[in-house]
Amino acid sequence: MKSSKTVKPLLYTSLSPKLLDIYDVSSSIVVIIDVLRATSTITTALFNGARSVIPVASVEECMRIGKQIEGITAGERDGQIAEGLTYGNSPFEYPRDFIAGKTLVLTTTNGTKLLHMALDKGAKEIITGSFPNLTSVCDYLVAQKQNVILGCAAWKDRVNFEDTLFAGAVISRIKQHFDINCDSSQIAETMYNDAKKDLYAFLKKKNASHYHRLTNFGLEKDIRYCLTPDIANVLCIYKEGYLVTQQPT
Amino acid sequence: MKSSKTVKPLLYTSLSPKLLDIYDVSSSIVVIIDVLRATSTITTALFNGARSVIPVASVEECMRIGKQIEGITAGERDGQIAEGLTYGNSPFEYPRDFIAGKTLVLTTTNGTKLLHMALDKGAKEIITGSFPNLTSVCDYLVAQKQNVILGCAAWKDRVNFEDTLFAGAVISRIKQHFDINCDSSQIAETMYNDAKKDLYAFLKKKNASHYHRLTNFGLEKDIRYCLTPDIANVLCIYKEGYLVTQQPT
């Protein structure tokens, strides 16, 4: 890094949940990134007035808590609605006239799993990130002046394009505020710069594995939405079991 | 992937040792990649006539085996010659008039560690890869028609640029012979295509962490050598404890 007289907070990118514990989670704000589709759906539900989202690790827990609090049970396994749950993991399932004032209990293959891993490792703070709330995430991270770990949820621990691209988008916007000595972050930013003109076309061209998985389910509309910056631009912050909105400070 | 009438072998890229066990090591040729500098040094020693290279996990083992077989003990920890060993991890330490006919016992921070990990997980076959033997690696992988895992040694489990770039170089050359459904591989190839005009300038520009670590030790010459394709172009294959050369079949 170029020398600087002021000490900047550190920023790292963890490209897979398996890499998270390389970094000092306990001194960092961990941004949970699951672009297709968990964190895009979370910000959409909160943007549309959901009271909160409860991220849970298992389908059983989702059903149990959903019953207990009369919440909306939702989630997917392998990209489709999980058996026993009422709703799925598409942002289009949560318009304002349905979700406003309600609590969503959500479990997904990768995103909610990573969130619980970050919790277990004692993350200083947890927020969720996705293109639909890109600006809120960036503004918050700059304002907090804390160390940051951009945590990609990946797909069953395999590094993926879309979460890496979101990490790159954040880095390209806020890098001057952080000390970044992390090749994963540089790789993410390089990928984003290659892709930013048309993220959708880039994923398609690069034959991204999850792009294919979802298009096989007819979910092109979901993918396009999940790659749209600031379409549901609220900050989603984890507080004592609940993801809730908070305006950037 | 595009449909194909012939079944092609699979190719995956593991960007860090921590990700290796996601893949089916036991059915694959694992290519150990530690560009700066272990696998570049291994191919150089073998190209220059070393009888074999014995990769060992610890400094103690290196000293013990070196004494036992009257071999050259060499290795580094954190980029510098490890205490108790005679030589380091620079390819320039192993010219023909020194190393021909001798056995090198080598231990390094990342590369030999990953090789032993692949062994422990029952890899079908292990070879080492680096820019100095790029063509030998590619020719061999195409000829074998087996599944492949490109295993990046990384730096203390952190993904790095240089190993990712080598994986990308291999993929860009041999991809038509493999079925590649792996975003890490696509990311590696994309990075390589961005960098290939001048790998050294790319690492410098991107502020690659290991580039900085080595240039702080005055090792620019090593870095330039380690990024030069086919400058010591022999296949390095692991056989019963020894890395030896073998002409591509």
Give B-chain residues touching A16 at CB under 8 angstroms. Answer: 16, 18-19
- Calculate how close chain B gets to A72, using CA atoms only, in Å: 33
CB B35 within 8 A of CB B152: no
Q: What is the pLDDT of residues A81-103, one digit of tens each?
A: 888 899 999 999 999 999 999 99
Give B-chain residues touching A158 at CB under 8 angstroms. Answer: 19, 22, 182-184
Burial class (CB in 10 A: 0-12, 13-18, 19+), B8: middle
| Helix (H), strand (E), coil (C) string for chain A | CCCCCCCCCEEEEECCHHHHHHCCHHHEEEEEECCCCHHHHHHHHHHCCCCEEEECCCHHHHHHHHHHHCCEEEEEECCEECCCCCECCCHHHCCHHHHCCCEEEEECCCHHHHHHHHHHCCCCEEEEECHHHHHHHHHHHHHHCCEEEEEECCECCECCHHHHHHHHHHHHHHHHHCECCCHHHHHHHHHHHHHCCCHHHHHHHCCCHHHHHHHHCCCHHHHHHHCCCCCCCCEEEEECCEEEEECCC
Lowest average pLDDT, out of A94-103, A186-195, B197-206, goes to B197-206
Residue A79 banded pLDDT, cuts 50, 70, 90: confident
Burial class (CB in 10 A: 0-12, 13-18, 19+), A54: buried
* Segment holding B41, helix H or strand E: helix B38-47
**Domain A11-246 fold:** putative 2-phosphosulfolactate phosphatase (3.90.1560)
Q: Which residues lie across from A90 on neighbouring strands? A: none
Cβ pair A187:B164 closer than 8 A: yes
pLDDT, residue B47, reads: 98
With a cut of 50, say whether residue B249 has pLDDT above it. no
Q: How far apart are CA B132 and CA B166, in angstroms?
A: 10
Cβ pair B183:A1 closer than 8 A: no
B159 touches chain A (CB under 8 A): yes
Q: What is the pLDDT of residues A51-75, one digit of tens each?
A: 999 999 899 999 999 999 999 999 9
pLDDT, mean over chain A? 93
A182 touches chain B (CB under 8 A): yes
Cβ pair A183:B194 closer than 8 A: no
A245 touches chain B (CB under 8 A): no
With a cut of 70, say whether residue B1 has pLDDT above it. no
User: With a CB-CB cutoff of 8 Å, which residues 107-146 of chain B face chain A?
Assistant: none
Strand A147-152 vs strand A103-107: parallel, antiparallel, or unpaired? unpaired
Q: Residue B137 corresponds to which tokens in the numbers above?
A: 């690696």
Cβ pair A157:B190 closer than 8 A: no
B220 touches chain A (CB under 8 A): no
Residue of B nearest to A2 (CA): B207
Residues 6+ apart with CB under 8 A from B194: A190, A194, B202
In three-state secondary structure terms, B133 is helix
Q: How far apart are CA B127 and CA B115, in angstroms?
A: 9
A208 touches chain B (CB under 8 A): yes
The mean per-residue pLDDT over the stretch A190-197 comes to 96
Length of chain B: 249
The CATH number of domain B11-244 is 3.30.930.10:
no
Q: Name which of A161, A186, A191 is nearest B161 (Cβ-Cβ).
A: A186
- Calculate how close chain A gets to B174, using CA atoms only, in Å: 16
Q: Name the one residue in this structure whose structure tokens are 């062994």.
A: B119
Q: Return the CA Rg of chain B.
A: 17
B186 touches chain A (CB under 8 A): yes
Substitution target in B14, B19, B159, B207 with the highest count of A β-carbons within 10 Å is B159
pLDDT, residue A248, reads: 43
Q: Name which of B156, B184, B212 is nearest A159 (Cβ-Cβ).
A: B184
Q: What is the pLDDT of residues B23-45, one digit of tens each?
A: 999 999 999 999 999 999 999 99
ipTM value: 0.93
Q: How far apart are CA B236 and CA B128, in angstroms?
A: 6
With a cut of 60, say whether residue A133 has pLDDT above it. yes
